[in-house]
Structure formats: C-alpha cells, structure tokens
Amino acid sequence: MIKRTLYFGNPAYLKTTNEQMVIEMQATGETKSVPIEDIGLIILDHQQITITQSLLAKLLGNNTAVITCDDKHHPAGMQLCLDGHTLQSQKFKAQIAATAPLKKQLWQQTVTAKITNQAAVLKEQRPENVPADHAGKYLINLAAAVKSGDTTNCEAKAAMYYWKHVFPAFLEFKRDRFGLPPNNLLNYGYSILRALVARSLVASGLLPTLGIFHRNQYNAYCLADDVMEPYRPYVDKLVCAIIRGNGKFLEMTPAMKRNLLSIPALDVIIDGQKSPMMNAVQRTTASLAKCFEGESRKMLYPFMD
C-alpha cells in the first residue's frame, strides 16, 4: 500500500492519540485524524504550525519523512528515522565496505537510466527547432556511451542539451537553483523526491549520507542525491505539464503545489511492472542494498516508455 503524503499550509495544531495523528485546524476549529502507520511524508509549510514531541517521535518511528519549510515556503529541512531496519548495522558495514569499482558500476547504471529518461521526456515535449525524429536521439546515444564511473562526463553533456531544449524557448530557461521560474517548481518537486528517496534508503538499512558518487562533506544526503537522479525526469515531465497550462505565469500557486505533491503517487515502470513512485523507489533502494551485500550487480531503476 502506498503511504500518504500530507501537506499543511495553514495554522494547525498536530498531536497524537491512540496511534493517530490528530489535526486541529486553528482557522475553522475542525478536527481530523489520520492513522500514523498510513503516513509516508509530511510537509509543514506555515510558521504557525505546532507539532508535539510525542507525535514527532511516533512519525519518525514509523519512518515518516518530515519536511519543514521556511517563511518563503521553500523546503528548509528534513527529519528521518535513525533506526529504519532490523539489520541496519550489518547493512551499514556492507555499504561502507563497498569497493570503488562497484560504486563506479552503480554510477554508470544510474547515469544511463537518468539520460534515458531525459531522452523520453524530450521526445514527448517535441522541442522547437528540433525535428521530431531527432528529439531525444542525441541523449539516447549519450546513454549508450556512458562508461564505468561516467569518466567521459556524459551526464553533464546530456544536461547541457536537455535543459536547452526541454522547456519552451520563450522562457529562455537556465537551470539554476536560485534562478527564475520554473526553477522554483523544479526545486520544490526535487525536494519532495529527495525526501522520498532518503526515507526509502533508511527503510532499506542504508546511510543516506554515504554516496556512490556525490561526496560533498556538507551534504547529509549524498546517497539520496545519487539514487534520485533517474527519477528527476518524472518531476521535469510534471513541470512541463504545469508550464503548458500556465505559460510564463509560474510563481508558485496552491494548484501547482497540489500537482507537485502528487509525485509520490506518479505511475512509473520498474522491472516491467507499473507501480506508484513511492513503491518503485523502495524497490530501487532495496536493490542497492543487495548490490552492497554482493547479492546483485544491478540496481532496479525506472525507465519511461
């Protein structure tokens, strides 16, 4: 069963009773309750939200990812469970002991899957000034050329081409975390995706901090940033749909947030089976744990049609 994603954008008091999350809306006085075991992701996006320590402990004990937003409504932080798997110590040791050649092979698989999915998005969008039969072809060729460890930097080459063509020309888009829209939409969607992946890594008994490629000493989620790469194009595709409906008017609205909050429930194809993204990500992280433990050499990643 797919876990629920809950978003709070108004003043609220959140507490717990009998393994339920009790929600008291301050504006209306309305009270609702949700079983804690059904919750996978919570986003707290208002400065007047109060949450009790008891509820927070139960949420984390249920491996619920809790995201807090700043006064500009941008995700500012995330809390995760520290004890997500019964064999966590054993899996930590296998992850730490992973060899450089294994990590390079896993990164090759990751980059190949990412570029392949970028090609699928680009082909569907049919960018201006690019013949329909050529859309995505350059990226498909790059995906086939990725070497162990991506030593020829195919990921960066793909990114340059992809971001130049994926959005309409009138946006004059440049990918920059602090840049003009639709960077804001991408950032928000990627934050949800990152939380989803980090939660699944913990559930698989892995340390989100120790990456297979990303190594920033100030980044607590290097492995999450690695694993989420092939899933990013699904967010990009959703943002493309938002752009089609709004043109240049891309400042974040409640409707856009609702669209982006659907990310965990998006259908993806993984290992020939359709499933919600939340379930697919769990299969991906479980396959990574098997690779670290020597039970497999292949990660399960989604591939777009």
- State the binding site: 155, 214, 229
What is the DSSP code (8-state) at residue 206?
-
Cβ burial of 296 (10 Å; 0-12, 13-18, 19+) is: middle
Number of other CB atoms surrounding residue 60 within 10 Å: 18
**Helix, strand, coil proportions of the chain in percent (round to 5)?**
50, 15, 35
Query: Whole-angstrom Cα distance, residue 242 to residue 286?
Result: 32
**What span, in angstroms and rounded, lies between the C-alpha atoms of 100 and 110?**
15
d(CA 174, CA 137): 22
The whole-angstrom separation of Cα 95 and Cα 97 is 5
The tokens describing 181, both together, are 């829209």
What's the chain's Rg over C-alpha atoms? 20
**Cα–Cα nearest to 197, from 102, 104, 264:** 264
Q: Where are the beta strands (DSSP E) in the chain?
A: 4-8, 12-17, 20-25, 31-35, 39-44, 49-51, 65-69, 75-79, 267-270, 273-276
**Contact between residue 259 and residue 229 where contact means Cβ atoms under 8 Å apart:** no
* CA distance linking residue 130 with residue 11, whole number of Å: 48
- 77 forms bridges with which residues in the sheet? 68
How close are the terminal C-alpha atoms of the chain, in Å? 24
Residues annotated within a binding site for Mn(2+): 155, 214, 229
The C-alpha angle 293, 297, 299, rounded to 5 degrees, equals: 95
